[in-house]
Amino acid sequence: MIASAQDTDGDNLLNYVDYPTYYMSLTCMPNAGIDANGNIFVSYSELMENIDNGSQNFRHVNVIKSMDGGVSWSAPTDVTPHTAWSGAQECVFRNYG
């Protein structure tokens, strides 16, 4: 497994207010690509533990990369880190325009 839900508050639990009704797992919708140097990039949607509006948690898009053919992977980077409303914006889908 290379991508999983993150325990962002470090309490060894995944604390969620409620799940949006997409009927998806905590991490879903992966998309992968390889650059000219053979580096692998994977983006995916993740239900974020620390981003909620009091009624439900929100999804953001994270990206991880491997620069050694998939042997090791970077820590996830949230590529949709909105600052308005403490990040409580739904960022489910990626756009590579």
pLDDT for the residue numbered 34: 96
Query: What is the distance, to the nearest Å, from the Cα of residue 96 to the centroid of all Cα atoms in its chain?
Result: 16
Per-10-residue mean pLDDT of the chain, 97 residues long, equals 85 87 82 95 90 86 95 92 66 58
pLDDT for the residue numbered 64: 96
Whether pTM exceeds 0.75: yes
Beta bridge partners of residue 40, listed in sequence order: 34, 66
Supply angle C-alpha 31, 60, 87, rounded to 5: 160
Q: Other C-beta atoms within 10 Å of 76: how many?
A: 21
pLDDT for the residue numbered 97: 45
Distance CA 34, CA 50 (A): 30
pLDDT for the residue numbered 67: 97
Q: Of 24, 23, 90, which is closest to residue 61 (Cα–Cα)?
A: 90
